[in-house]
Structure 1
């Protein structure tokens, strides 16, 4: 056991952490080879497959790993930029995916075979995804309403405009002083 203050005097070796960016890392197929060589030309059938799988909760990364016909992630992202019909289908599939996650919440909550701590993580993940990816439907509502006293509507008043040229010198000076005082209070 090392005693505090004693030892070789050297600092402990630095720990190097390697992070993996899943979006940048290309998926490998089941047989271990890289997803290279697939045709990168747009294919409507492949686009429909991607969208149908996304709609039932799968990630694009997982779809590319499971289906030999799906091109690289970068190619799919390019299809989204270049083909408006695919972009629209993909957007609808992502919306359906959020509904799928919300539907799963009840099934997971009612499933007694899943341990409580695991169930909580599964439910919280799906709730978070749904609220972030589809804020209008599943997000928290933060609403600010401005009203008058006791919730009544705000009372507005019509204020007559003042034509300074029609005032005498004493009244113009009084108006100027009042406006300067109001300006100072608002600073």
Structure 2
């Protein structure tokens, strides 16, 4: 997992220059640039939020992106800073969602996916990717909450220790330690399952 995580963080660093430029253009009103920023950030954020709220992640991310778009003019920073800022907003929306769920009973949602037409992507590939993502999130969900969030932010969303620390309100060292412990637990579990 370490090597894949290194590649993911390395890719994010190279994407950060593109992201920073896109955010700057989006702040000037360039809608295409906002779409580039969304494309670079959304997949990692969605996976992070899915690890927090499960099946409601798309709804939570819709709220988060509305807030990100509304407050974009106030953002100051580079691409890496934007990743952390948007992860903080997504986390706040996820925590709000979890609080609302505790206050009111949950209804049975309409299966919206059954009503949608298939997209232009390879269905088999999309299904395998969804299963793999779902399985990984299920395994991460077995970790203690602090470790699970640290792993999701560091490995899945690709944030560095300092940015993940700002999102969680913790020191970077404690986030790195929690992520390390979580990854070590996952490695032990995967080794046990392979035996």
By the TM > 0.5 criterion, same fold? Answer: no
Q: Which structure: larger Rg?
A: 1
- TM-score of the two chains, using structure 2 as the length reference: 0.26
Taking structure 1 as the reference length, what is the TM-score of the superposition?
0.27
